[in-house]
């Protein structure tokens, strides 16, 4: 539609797509700016989603596509562009992107989060040569091989379960003696014969010439070092919010945009939804809830203009 939008939604993960659905139903003049060619965000690289109500066991990619199709069916408008900053000094905000600038009364930031890096020797040098951050994307390259997953959260456990179906052996290297991920996932993991959990251990360096050959881990309790011979290392040590372009525009806490359940940020007319917002639980179901809440807050804000 163009002109001055009622709302510009930045990001097309579950939060952004839910916001797009609610915006269309509220008949707002809305546009979704997405950085990637395919909508869906982190859910796209999830092998299986088992806790989204009504869709038990659905593939992450399929769920992402369903969200997008739902938004499309209502007439949501999408544009592929990369947001550089928001200029928010007047009642009309300007979302400045690499390709274009969009004028709008409100903005919903739903830029999500990306995987965190370990920062150990070999990680950067061997990225794409055996070091990966996405088991569902790259797992197939390691059929009948030995791999390690680093981390103890939901993603690390899911990755280890996924890889166990392809690989001869999978190590799960975790820095404590207890996993953080969901108990139901832990139960599945503990039942697998070809997964060895390397407890109380941190990765020190990834070794290899042109391709990964081994991972050196150190036991945090004993100081003992162990070299694991393997071909792949999957890093799943959490996420960092995609928020650096909004620094100085909205208040943040450890990189997350400070906002409550109404998704209102410190800057009037700018809302934050999904993983990029300060919140206790980051799941698909809470991201889509944010999308709905953010549009409701946008509507309330627009009536006060
Ligand atoms: P996470 O829950 O933050 O877990 C990160 C894991 O990496 C933790 O076990 C942490 O250890 C470990 N870790 C962090 N920094 C490390 C370092 N420098 N060296 C070694 N280990 C390190 O992250 P996530 O698993 O990526 O999940 C992200 C979010 O998505 C979470 O909120 C999660 O619940 C959600 N999610 C949910 C589902 C689901 O419900 N099925 C699926 C996927 C993701 P400590 O435990 O010692 O802190």
pLDDT tens-digit series, residues 151-176: 999 999 999 999 999 999 999 999 99
pLDDT confidence bin for 305, thresholds 50/70/90: confident
Residue 1, pLDDT > 60, answer no
Position 47 scores a pLDDT of 84
Quick check: is 267 catalytic?
no
Sequence-ordered list of residues with C-beta below 8 angstroms from that of 61, at least 6 positions apart, any chain: 40, 43, 44, 45
Both tokens assigned to 59: 């593939």
Averaged over 193-199, what is the pLDDT?
Answer: 98
CB of 275 closer than 6 angstroms to any ligand 1 atom: no
**Is pLDDT larger for residue 260 or for residue 48?**
260
Position 137 scores a pLDDT of 86
Nearest ligand 1 atom to the CA of 118 is 18
Q: How many residues does the chain have?
A: 305
CB of 184 closer than 6 angstroms to any ligand 1 atom: no
For residue 112, report the distance from its CA to the centre of ligand 1, in Å: 15
Of 50, 72, 134, 200, the catalytic one is 134
Residue 224, pLDDT > 70, answer yes
**Is pLDDT larger for residue 47 or for residue 226?**
226
* Pick from 279, 255, 286, 251: nearest CA to 116: 255
CA distance 250 to 170: 42
Quick check: is 97 catalytic?
no
For residue 250, report the distance from its CA to the centre of ligand 1, in Å: 26
Nearest ligand 1 atom to the CA of 180 is 46
Q: What percent of the chain has pLDDT over 70?
A: 99
Q: What percent of the chain has pLDDT over 90?
A: 92
For residue 180, report the distance from its CA to the centre of ligand 1, in Å: 7
For residue 156, report the distance from its CA to the centre of ligand 1, in Å: 7
Quick check: is 167 catalytic?
no
């Amino acid at each position: 539609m163009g002109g001055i939008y009622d709302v510009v939604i930045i990001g097309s993960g579950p939060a952004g797509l839910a916001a797009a659905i609610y915006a269309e139903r509220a008949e707002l003049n809305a546009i979704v700016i997405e950085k990637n060619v395919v909508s869906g965000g982190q859910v796209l690289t999830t092998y299986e989603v088992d806790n989204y109500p009504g869709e038990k066991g659905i593939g992450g990619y399929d769920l992402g596509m369903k969200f997008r199709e739902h938004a499309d069916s209502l007439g949501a408008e999408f544009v592929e562009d990369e947001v550089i900053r928001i200029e928010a000094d007047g009642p009309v905000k300007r979302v400045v992107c690499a390709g274009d600038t969009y004028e709008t009364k409100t903005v919903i930031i739903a830029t999500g989060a990306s995987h965190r890096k370990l920062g150990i020797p070999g990680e950067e040098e061997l990225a794409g040569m055996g070091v990966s951050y996405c088991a569902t994307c790259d797992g197939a390259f390691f059929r009948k091989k030995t791999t390690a997953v680093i981390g103890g959260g939901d993603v690390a456990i899911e990755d280890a379960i996924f890889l166990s179906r392809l690989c001869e052996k999978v190590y799960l290297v975790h820095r404590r003696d207890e996993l953080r991920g969901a108990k139901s996932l832990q139960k599945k993991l503990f039942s697998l014969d070809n997964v060895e959990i390397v407890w109380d251990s941190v990765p020190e360096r990834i070794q290899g010439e042109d391709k990964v050959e081994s991972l050196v881990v150190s036991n945090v309790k004993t100081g003992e070092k162990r070299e694991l011979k393997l071909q792949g290392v999957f890093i799943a040590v959490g996420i960092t919010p995609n928020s650096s372009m909004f620094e100085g525009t909205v208040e943040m806490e450890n990189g997350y945009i400070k906002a409550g359940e109404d998704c209102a940020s410190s800057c009037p007319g700018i809302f934050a939804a999904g993983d990029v917002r300060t919140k206790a639980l980051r799941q698909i179901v809470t991201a889509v809830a944010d999308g709905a809440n953010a549009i409701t807050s946008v509507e309330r804000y627009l009536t006060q203009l």
